[in-house]
Chain A
Amino acid sequence: MSFIIDKQTLDDLGIFSRNRDVSVFGIYNSVHTRGGARILEEMFTNPLDDVEKIRSRSEVIGFFREAGLDFPFKASWFDAAEFYLSDRDVRTRVSGEQDLMYQKVRRFLKTDTEYRQIQGGITALVTILRALRLFLDTLAGNMPPAVMASSAPVLEILGSPGFARVMEGDVKKLTAEVQDTASLDNFFRYTNVAEVESVLDFIYRLDVYMSAAKVASERGFVKAEALPPGENVMDIRGLRHPALSSPVANDMTVGEDCNVIFLTGANMAGKSTFMKAFGIAVFLAHVGFPVPAASMRFSVRDGMYTTINLPDNLNRGYSHFYAEVKRLKKVALSLGTYRNMVVIFDELFRGTNVRDAYDATVAVTEAFSGIRQSIFIISTHIIEAGETLRSRCGNIRFLYLPTRMEGNTPVYTYRLQEGITEDRHGMLIIRNEGILDILN
């Protein structure tokens, strides 16, 4: 079982790149190897729901952040080595037994490209292995347990006799003789493939962790402290949206006694951005990656559903309201099974009349607030719903994003405040455009 998240949520939060926006994945994707990119994507596609796994991953990234080391490999080595290793066709295996005359001639004339590619691949692979051992040797002693645990089998492989024989001497000399090339080729590509792959996989992970550490230190992201599930802790200080150039930081505390946030504010006041920033922090924390905040403590969740940019599918005969109801039902059903969720709804029930929107917002929010282990953030313009809920439920926290009017121009602070606001600017814009004056 892994952290539950769906496409709508990933799209809402902009985790993977959609359109030309900056994606969260893009921010972290500064890996050097293709294998690293693959693993990063895998990690982002499968956030964790296990407190130990999250902790160990964030610990590893934290260690590399402290160490401040550079990735000790060149990307070009991997291109050659991966290309070489990916070819498992036995017909390409170098044979040392029958070194025929014509092969000698071709090698002499340097026309046997296949052979030369194999030579190059072996050289690149050996270079990688040597660099890895050197790197691990320099780390030895101050590795955290998590790194130690994963590097131990790698060190064992590198120390085994088959691998040890390539660790010393001139790399070029290893493939000088056809017989030697044949033997190494056989060793790397056929008899010890599994070992070679596990070593490379270790390097790819190293790549992911080290580049994540680098991104985090460049951008001032912090390690999120994971707590076991069940307590319903969510405490974020200085939370900000990672894709914004000059974001405003906000604090956010939700807990068992106050697990619903009722958010109000004008259209441009930053509601959606705040909700996205919160969702991204929760997401990254469950990937075990540093989060864009000053500090974060959270108890591990079962999953997260957001509904921020819900498209209405008119082609399938759904109105926007019906799309919202469908989405709500999906979330509700999921809450029946997994009670430990993060749920975000932006501008709930936009596609219906005021009365229905009021009734539905009150009813649904009240029902949600009964699930104390989960966290809900609900934004709306129907402030009356907020007033009703305030009198009915004790565990709802009311926050708003304020607007200050400077003459006829609204100014937004993007800083959360306690309470409910009636700020709306639809009519203001209409008045500013002078539409009613034109008609009068």
Chain B
Amino acid sequence: MGFITDKQTLDDLNLLGRFRKDSVINIFDRTKTRQGRRILEEMFRNPLTDADGIRARSREFRYYSGKGFTLPVDESLTEPAELYLGASSSRSFLAAALKMVALKVRGMFVMDKEYDRMQSGMTALAAIVSGTVPLWERLSEEDSPVKEDAGALSGIFGGKVAGLMSAEKEGGHRSLRKAIALDRLLRVRLYPHVRRMLDLLYRLDVFFSVAGVAEEKGFCLAGIHPGEDSFLEIDGVWHPSLKNAVPNDIRIDSSSNVFFLTGVNMAGKSTFMKTVSIALYLAQMGFPVPASRMEFTPVEGLFTSINVADDIASGYSHFYAEVLRVKHLAEQVRSGRRLLLVFDELFKGTNVKDAHDATLAVTEAFARHRECLYVISTHIVEAGRELSERCGNVTFRYFPASLDGDRPVYPYRLEEGISDDRYGMTIIRHEKILDIIRGYREESLEAEPGEQEPR
């Protein structure tokens, strides 16, 4: 059973989407090859659920980080090399040689580029083989995660073969006889090793790319928390797409499995919820996370409801859509899976009273399932107060806001407790709405002619 999530979650977190700026995958993607990019995408699509798998992958990242590894080749070599390798389905010398002769003859009489393409593909592959030998030698050392493969490859391609290949580099043209010999070497005799070398190279492309990004941005590798109970603790976690993001801490575990966030709109609730979700998602992939320290027990799935299409105009039906999603998630929780659920502004599609009652009832019901962790936010602070009286396993945090003149100021730093910003009436007073209606401030009416738009 793989990691379970859904489209809503992937969209909320902006994880995939290669063509979307600021998507999390794009932050990590500095791959040099098409195949590397595909492997990275594969990893993003399939986070791991077993502690061993996660540990093994993050151990690889740990090895590569800080060592300044870069891929010695890029797409300009791998593309023609792959084309050349894939062009022949035959792995017998005779057939390959005959094909080569046939192409050469065709190239001489009709304008057929096939032969030239084959020659340059051969040159590219030769350059890869000779260019990567130092990398294989370096990766053969004791603590390398790929030391068997790298050791084998440096044994096969080092020495004589490397010498042969580097001689190839200079000569653009080679005789048919030489071409047949080289072709035999690369596509027949050494083929399984060449294939294995390229596949390892693509995998390393991903690891080097991610390790480089992590080092540059100061990401850390998450550690797996020992023990069976659900646990998530992150220090100094920030949103990887934001510049100057403010880091915050979070801790949720089975003894306090609900993290209840309050605060006015815009104070940073949604961003924080996305941040935590992204960090967990990356940690489940064994990837470095944007935080200073992270420890967790792997979950089996992650669901967020953050940017539920905010169609207030549709009122009731929006509420109903939310109810159905909550129901779906309740069923997931009931199945006994260990999940992280993130709800931002539950039931905002309905009136304050209903939202209050529903948030309270649903949070309380979810909280009983200790194997799951929850991050729940609301601007209805009353729900938080009542919850604190009823449930012992809820951690309360809030994002403060203050008014600086007429501009709200948000420090984006979590504080303990429940927000008690009486922001609503403050704004109403600040905007002098009651005074205006009562007609006390006639002069202020004239001071703001721009506010009025009689037509």
Q: Please give the distance in Å from B359's CB to the nearest CB on chain A.
A: 10
B316 A334 Cβ-Cβ under 8 A: no
A433 B438 Cβ-Cβ under 8 A: no
A267 B323 Cβ-Cβ under 8 A: no
State whether the Cβ of B106 lies closer than 8 Å to any Cβ in chain A.
Answer: no
State whether the Cβ of A370 lies closer than 8 Å to any Cβ in chain B.
Answer: yes
Residue from A272, A332, A364, A382 having most chain B Cβ neighbours under 10 A: A332
A309 B312 Cβ-Cβ under 8 A: yes
The residues of B that contact A333 with a CB separation of less than 8 Å are: 436, 445, 448, 451-452
Known contacts: A320-B265, A367-B438. The answer to whether A311 contacts B312 by CB under 8 A is yes
Contact with A along B167-188 (1 / 0, CB 8 A): 0000000000000000000000
Interface residues of A in 343-363 (CB under 8 A from B): 347, 349-357, 359-360, 363
Known contacts: A382-B353, A426-B355. The answer to whether A367 contacts B434 by CB under 8 A is yes
Of the listed stretches A1-9, A96-104, A153-161, A184-192, name the one at the interface; the rest are far from the partner chain. A1-9
Contact with B along A317-359 (1 / 0, CB 8 A): 1011110010011101111111000000001011111111101
B357 A426 Cβ-Cβ under 8 A: yes
CA distance A320 to B265 in the complex (A): 8
Contact with B along A154-172 (1 / 0, CB 8 A): 0000000000000000000
State whether the Cβ of B366 lies closer than 8 Å to any Cβ in chain A.
Answer: yes
B334 A429 Cβ-Cβ under 8 A: no
CA distance A338 to B454 in the complex (A): 10
CA distance A335 to B441 in the complex (A): 12
Q: Please give the distance in Å from B12's CB to the nearest CB on chain A.
A: 14
State whether the Cβ of B327 lies closer than 8 Å to any Cβ in chain A.
Answer: yes
A332 B382 Cβ-Cβ under 8 A: no
Q: Please give the distance in Å from B311's CB to the nearest CB on chain A.
A: 9
CA distance A381 to B380 in the complex (A): 14
A350 B351 Cβ-Cβ under 8 A: yes
Interface residues of B in 137-162 (CB under 8 A from A): none
Contact of B382 among A337, A354, A363 (CB under 8 A): A354
Interface residues of B in 413-449 (CB under 8 A from A): 422-425, 427-428, 431, 433-434, 436-439, 442, 445, 448
Q: Please give the distance in Å from A49's CB to the nearest CB on chain B.
A: 11
CA distance A421 to B274 in the complex (A): 39
The residues of B that contact A317 with a CB separation of less than 8 Å are: 266
Contact of A311 among B313, B323, B357, B452 (CB under 8 A): B313
Known contacts: A267-B319, A336-B445. The answer to whether A312 contacts B266 by CB under 8 A is no
State whether the Cβ of B324 lies closer than 8 Å to any Cβ in chain A.
Answer: yes
B316 A268 Cβ-Cβ under 8 A: yes
The residues of B that contact A329 with a CB separation of less than 8 Å are: 431, 433, 436, 451
Q: Please give the distance in Å from B237's CB to the nearest CB on chain A.
A: 23
The residues of A that contact B323 with a CB separation of less than 8 Å are: 429-430, 433, 435
B437 A368 Cβ-Cβ under 8 A: yes
Interface residues of A in 207-249 (CB under 8 A from B): none
Contact of A433 among B327, B379, B433, B445 (CB under 8 A): B327
CA distance A231 to B331 in the complex (A): 60
B422 A356 Cβ-Cβ under 8 A: yes
State whether the Cβ of A176 lies closer than 8 Å to any Cβ in chain B.
Answer: no
State whether the Cβ of A438 lies closer than 8 Å to any Cβ in chain B.
Answer: yes
Q: Please give the distance in Å from B426's CB to the nearest CB on chain A.
A: 9
Contact of A4 among B265, B423, B448, B454 (CB under 8 A): B454
Q: Please give the distance in Å from B74's CB to the nearest CB on chain A.
A: 39
Interface residues of B in 298-344 (CB under 8 A from A): 310, 312-313, 315-316, 319-320, 323-324, 326-327, 330-331, 333-334
A436 B454 Cβ-Cβ under 8 A: no
B352 A350 Cβ-Cβ under 8 A: yes
CA distance A350 to B437 in the complex (A): 21
The residues of B that contact A381 with a CB separation of less than 8 Å are: 351-354
A354 B353 Cβ-Cβ under 8 A: yes
A314 B380 Cβ-Cβ under 8 A: no
A355 B382 Cβ-Cβ under 8 A: yes
Q: Please give the distance in Å from B200's CB to the nearest CB on chain A.
A: 46
State whether the Cβ of A303 lies closer than 8 Å to any Cβ in chain B.
Answer: yes
Known contacts: A267-B315, A356-B422, A357-B424. The answer to whether A438 contacts B327 by CB under 8 A is yes
State whether the Cβ of A439 lies closer than 8 Å to any Cβ in chain B.
Answer: yes
Please give the residue numbers on chain B whose beta carbons come within 8 Å of chain A beta carbons, in ascending order.
Answer: 264-266, 310, 312-313, 315-316, 319-320, 323-324, 326-327, 330-331, 333-334, 347, 350-358, 361-362, 365-366, 368-369, 379-382, 422-425, 427-428, 431, 433-434, 436-439, 442, 445, 448, 451-455
Since A333-B445, A440-B365 are in contact, a sample of 15 more A-B pairs with Cβ atoms closer than 8 Å, ordered by chain A residue number, is A272-B315, A321-B265, A353-B382, A367-B434, A381-B353, A424-B351, A424-B353, A424-B354, A426-B354, A430-B323, A430-B362, A433-B323, A435-B365, A439-B333, A440-B368
29 example contacts (A-B, Cβ-Cβ < 8 A) are as follows A2-B455, A310-B312, A319-B266, A322-B265, A328-B428, A336-B439, A336-B445, A337-B445, A349-B424, A350-B352, A353-B379, A353-B380, A355-B382, A356-B423, A356-B424, A356-B425, A359-B424, A364-B434, A367-B434, A368-B437, A381-B353, A382-B352, A424-B357, A427-B357, A427-B358, A429-B320, A430-B323, A434-B327, A438-B331
Please give the residue numbers on chain A whose beta carbons come within 8 Å of chain B beta carbons, in ascending order.
Answer: 1-2, 4-6, 267-268, 272, 303, 309-312, 314, 317, 319-322, 325, 328-330, 332-338, 347, 349-357, 359-360, 363-364, 367-368, 370-371, 380-382, 424-427, 429-430, 433-436, 438-440
- Which 9 pairs across A and B sit closest by C-beta, in order of nearness? A426-B354, A356-B424, A319-B265, A381-B351, A439-B365, A367-B437, A332-B436, A352-B424, A438-B330
